[in-house]
Structure 1
């Protein structure tokens, strides 16, 4: 649980650990400590990654362990400006990836990112 009010109100967890697998829920650009969100899609992407990084760390892994990433955006034109930020997190890892254009739960949300990772052997 990340402390996001969405988790409690909707009924889900930020991440679920299942053996050596870690499934991180679709994560938006909200700063969950202040429940604020930037108007800028690139800043939102950076905050998504910070939120995901915290969930992965709590589960005992990091971006190097990500095997699958899904990008969800309401506006396809917002994807390319995010590429440099996304490349910082995933460029060396090269997980399988999908980008989908779809509506998100709140009109302030411009990007949502979901990842699956494999925890390293102990």
Structure 2
């Protein structure tokens, strides 16, 4: 079974020794993704904008691996403040509302102080016949 590594080109991937996503067979494992805009290497101030950037980066990684958000079966959300939970729920609901993966929300510190949210997903390629 082939293993395929997907990169966003972020300098963090090389420095920290990880891939944005790894595709192994029918599985796609997307690394924890923060709200950086990787084109400009800037971080928006609001948790809402950071969440949207996380999801955009994840969506591109999934697509590059031949997956979509509809294939996501597990999601982990990490926020740095309990007050952010209700602020990001509607954004997460826009993406995952009908997909409804198994999910966990954790309030914790993240690697850098400007990071307010990190999202990690696992996807399983669905049977193309309606699985």
In structure 1, runs of 5+ residues without a counterpart are none
Task: Report how far residue 120 of structure 1 moved.
Answer: 3.3
Which residue of 2 is the match for residue 34 of structure 1?
40
- Which of 83, 88, 106 in structure 1 is aligned with 2:112? 106
Higher relative contact order (CA 8 A, sep 6+): 1
The CA distance in 2 between the partners of 1:117 and 1:87, in whole Å, is 17
C-alpha distance after superposition, 1:67-99 (max 9, x if no partner):
000001111111111111111110000000001
Q: How many residue pairs are counted as aligned between the two chains?
A: 122
Q: RMSD value over aligned CA atoms?
A: 1.0
> 4+ residue stretches of structure 1 with deviation over 2 A?
none
What does 1:39-58 align with in structure 2 at a 5 Å threshold?
Answer: 39-58=45-64
TM-score, with normalisation over the residues of structure 1?
0.96
TM-score, with normalisation over the residues of structure 2?
0.90
In structure 2, runs of 5+ residues without a counterpart are 1-6
